[in-house]
Structure 1
Amino acid sequence: MSFTLAIVGRPNVGKSTLFNRLVGKRLALVDDQPGVTRDLREGEARLGDLRFTVIDTAGLEEATDDSLQGRMRRLTERAVDMADVCLFMIDARAGVLPSDEVFADILRRRSAHVILAANKAEGAAADAGVLEAYGLGLGEPIRLSAEHGEGLAELLAVLMPIADEYARREAENAPETDVDVDEEGDEAEGPRVPTREKPLQVAVVGRPNAGKSTLINALIGEEKMLTGPEAGITRDAISTQFDWEGLPTRIWDTAGMRKKAKVQEKLERLSVSDALRAVKFAEVVVVLLDVEIPFEQQDLRIADLAEREGRAVVVAVNKWDLEGEKQDKLRELKEEFARLLPQLKGAPLVTVSARTGRGLDRLRGAVIRAHEVWNRRVPTAQLNRWLAGMVEAHPPPAPGGKRIKLRYMTQVKTRPPGFVAMCSHPEKLPDSYRRYLINGLREDFDMPGTPIRLTLRSQADKNPYKGKKKSTPSRLRKHLGKKPHSD
């Protein structure tokens, strides 16, 4: 049974740096300014031969009210209660501060296993801080340098007995299984356990304060993401795996994306970059709008970004419980959607209330539908019968008197659907006719809203000998060069 390790400590002691090193990836944002991490981030850690789950937490603050710092502290305390082991980090160069003593006392009461680590301990400048750490009453501190990877062997040595304890518990609690043996002595085959599907990858994106974190908390059924009235609370792209009414799903909560001109701070640029990576990893992107100010210019840019990345898109309008004239507003939203986002024509538009939970079943149905369309494949024979009908109904133009012939079409990929059409003079086919074909594919093969990629190629592109000079084979050339035999 794998154990869970929570890394806790004051802001800016190097928790996220150690988290990234343990998981072997740069998952958590790291910056010199304190308080970068606000949400809980989980990862699969590897230390030597040891495998375990590690949780990166927000910096422990002394605030206990409903302020942002107070809510961050409560989220971290929740991680402490969830974890099997707590790694309490201090800054060896700064030494032990009064807040470290307060938090050490809290951890002694709330956690069965507390490991003390003095980070940034490389060099003689950290010696005094390491000695002070003994006074916290948490045993001998481990000298660490998360940035340089020093002290990880000592951490492994401390964690191994804990891992052995959890492995022993797993062996003791494992249920006994009876094996049926048939008359010939072979083991009887029991009922097969269905293999678990790969989780559906969903990213929730939108402007700051649209309610992304609140929506995800409502979906997973627990307060895992930090929420509040302040805009821009979420900084990292945090992923969570859960069972969405029988559908294995991994969902990303992302930072709010403002206009590029307004993004000045380095940390916000990193947050937006992290959100863009989440869009690239996702299969379905939920663009979350605020019902009070929907389809702002930035909303359109975000939706267009998801379409250009080739993701399936669902547009969700949040805070629907605040809307009075629902029917009139819904009619207005649909009209604006069709007018402002023609490239997503037919994509699902659903109304939700993350605060009350209304509309979440419709959101699930829209996500499943968008994913199915995104994976749709059209048989080649059916596709070419369709192409012949489209050309007959509206023949392609003949620019400069050169007639363009569309000969053949096939689907070469899904996720999103991609098609290749063989034709003469593909470079002369106008964009309007390409749009005519794409819209026809979307309507006739029931692919609303999904990005469709159409590539035009000429028959000559398939001929590997085009442009090469004809040459006589070497053996024939040698034979022709021989003199005839004389009798």
Structure 2
Amino acid sequence: MDMPTVAIVGRPNVGKSTLFNRLVGKKLALVDDRPGVTRDRREGDVTFGGLQFRVIDTAGLEEADAQTLTGRMRMQTEAAILAADVVLFVIDARAGVLPADQPFAELVRRAGSPVILIANKAEGGAGLAGAYEAFTLGLGDPIPFSAEHGEGLGELHEALKGALPPREDDDEEEDADAPGGRALKVAIVGRPNAGKSTLINRMLGEDRLLVGPEAGITRDSISLDWEWRGRRIKLHDTAGMRRRARIDDKLEKLAVSDGLRAVRFAEVVVVLLDATIPFEKQDLTIVDLVESEGRALVIGLNKWDLVADQPGLLKQLREDCTRLLPQVRGVAVVPLSGLAGDGVDKLMQAVVQAAEVWDTRISTSRINDWLSEATSRNPPPAVSGRRIKIRYATQVKSRPPHFALFGNQLNALPKSYTRYLVNGLREAFELPGTPIRLSLRTSQNPFDKG
């Protein structure tokens, strides 16, 4: 397995190169108080508390014309973000979140890789207010950090340990010789009292988890080893997720945060709905979170035994799912009863299938044959009298499938057309229910007039 890559990105002068030097253990990157010292991507191999990865130091992200030096530096940084397994997004905690941070936070989010938010220059608590402000970027919990003094390294190690793809030589997770091979990581999430712990007890065949009619009994994210049809499974039971605004208890806030972490570390997430009151607003929010984290998804309709006598209900709920959750069109919706043990086998079949779809790789030639047909059937619109041209497409990543399109004026492509392309990819290459990422790369050739 190739060494995973970690890209350090952020505005100029937030301390990216100091962090790079700290991780590599040598002063390989130039450091200065003036912004813009780093221009090229600089790489170094890191061994960090048992973790091994390649770290990439990038030029500071700045809005700039593509033909300028700054613009070309930005393109290099965007390429590093696309290729990275994990992105370290660095802000200056003392300066707080600036308007310039927002567009780049959006860029990193769209790339679809796991993101670790670092509030640098927070030594001695000086930047804690700025660190808390970093929550507004929507990139998860910030790590208060000091690249210069090494504060926060323990928290960074924990975050990287969870975000980096498992190594093939990792005995615990990747022992290919072990019965069942590598364990598939599955998180069971949902609203409080949807029956998550009852379902897992049924899967395990024992009362391993505390259950009861009261909502919110489970507080920790609990990891359990299991085997299904000879396949190793690592199950994560999580606390019920409810809107943060409705959480007063500090312990429950921690539990919900733990549930979010379980989603990020899972490969497949089963969102468990209560079939008697399905598709509540909070259910849709949880599915949205799973999609934005780029995880494979299966929807389980629990307590089905209570509504099984209603003819046509399953068909209706599957139609509701398509209407309410178009971003995961085709997702498997499985009726089950954790209490009675019905439907567990079908749920696991759907989980394994979702993992395979999530891991799909498609050849560039097949993608471009599809693209040619899709754009002939429905050409991109014209902007200011000049037609948008999509020249080429390729898959840059799997887990989830991530495609890059290259052409001219792609930044003017309407959302309706990108939806058409995503739905086309989903249908043509049989990618039901999985998140699909689409990056648009506009040609930087000034002589390309289309």
TM-score by length of 1: 0.54
Q: Report the equivalent of 1:264.
A: 248
* Cα pair distance change 1:194/1:212, threshold 3 Å: closer
- Identity over aligned pairs, percent: 54
Q: Report the equivalent of 1:204.
A: 188
| 1:417 correspondence with 2:401 | yes
Gaps of 5+ in 2: 1-175
Is 1:377–1:417's contact at 8 Å kept on the other side of the alignment?
A: yes
Is 1:311–1:450's contact at 8 Å kept on the other side of the alignment?
A: yes
Matches of 2:177 and 2:360, distance apart in 1: 28
1:399 Cα shift? 1.3
Matches of 1:446 and 1:328, distance apart in 2: 26
Q: Which of 332, 346, 349 pairs up with 1:362?
A: 346
Matches of 2:405 and 2:433, distance apart in 1: 21
Q: Secondary structure at the match of 1:415?
A: coil
Is 2:225–2:235's contact at 8 Å kept on the other side of the alignment?
A: yes
Give per-residue Cα distances to partners, 1:396-416, cap 9 Å, x unaligned. 001111221111000010000
Matches of 2:403 and 2:276, distance apart in 1: 39
Q: Report the equivalent of 1:105.
A: none
Q: Report the equivalent of 1:453.
A: 437
Correspondence 1:316-331 to 2 at 5 A: 316-331=300-315
Q: Which of 204, 214, 225 pairs up with 2:209?
A: 225
| 1:216 correspondence with 2:216 | no
Q: Report the equivalent of 2:237.
A: 253
* Cα pair distance change 1:194/1:276, threshold 3 Å: closer
Matches of 1:275 and 1:430, distance apart in 2: 35
1:324 Cα shift? 4.3
Displaced runs of 4+ in structure 1, greater than 6 A? 192-195
Q: Report the equivalent of 1:387.
A: 371
Q: Secondary structure at the match of 2:387?
A: coil
Q: Secondary structure at the match of 2:321?
A: helix
Give per-residue Cα distances to partners, 1:28-72, cap 9 Å, x unaligned. xxxxxxxxxxxxxxxxxxxxxxxxxxxxxxxxxxxxxxxxxxxxx
Q: Secondary structure at the match of 1:327?
A: coil
Equivalenced residues, count: 272
Matches of 2:409 and 2:210, distance apart in 1: 56
Is 2:295–2:435's contact at 8 Å kept on the other side of the alignment?
A: yes
Matches of 2:308 and 2:402, distance apart in 1: 42
Residue 327 of structure 2 aligns to which amino acid in structure 1? Q
Matches of 2:181 and 2:238, distance apart in 1: 24
1:294 Cα shift? 0.5
Give per-residue Cα distances to partners, 1:421-475, cap 9 Å, x unaligned. 1110111111111111000000011001100001010231xx7xx89xxxxxxxx
Give per-residue Cα distances to partners, 1:190-236, cap 9 Å, x unaligned. xx966752100000000011000000111111111111111100000
Residue 434 of structure 1 aligns to which amino acid in structure 2? T
What RMSD, in angstroms, separates the aligned Cα atoms of the two structures?
1.7
Matches of 1:194 and 1:267, distance apart in 2: 38
Q: Report the equivalent of 2:173.
A: none
Is 1:220–1:244's contact at 8 Å kept on the other side of the alignment?
A: no
Give per-residue Cα distances to partners, 1:356-384, cap 9 Å, x unaligned. 11101100110011001000111111110
Matches of 2:419 and 2:344, distance apart in 1: 34
Matches of 2:311 and 2:216, distance apart in 1: 31
Q: Which of 312, 318, 321 pairs up with 1:337?
A: 321
* Cα pair distance change 1:446/1:225, threshold 3 Å: same
The structure with more radius of gyration? 1
Q: Which of 273, 276, 281 pairs up with 2:257?
A: 273
Gaps of 5+ in 1: 1-191, 468-487
1:264 Cα shift? 1.2
Matches of 2:433 and 2:259, distance apart in 1: 22
Is 1:346–1:449's contact at 8 Å kept on the other side of the alignment?
A: yes
Is 1:234–1:256's contact at 8 Å kept on the other side of the alignment?
A: yes
Correspondence 1:466-485 to 2 at 5 A: none
* Cα pair distance change 1:324/1:370, threshold 3 Å: closer
Is 2:297–2:433's contact at 8 Å kept on the other side of the alignment?
A: yes
Is 2:191–2:242's contact at 8 Å kept on the other side of the alignment?
A: yes
TM-score by length of 2: 0.59
Matches of 1:317 and 1:335, distance apart in 2: 14
Q: Secondary structure at the match of 1:251?
A: strand
1:326 Cα shift? 4.0
Matches of 2:377 and 2:241, distance apart in 1: 44
1:325 Cα shift? 2.6
Correspondence 1:37-76 to 2 at 5 A: none
* Cα pair distance change 1:286/1:194, threshold 3 Å: closer
Q: Report the equivalent of 2:286.
A: 302
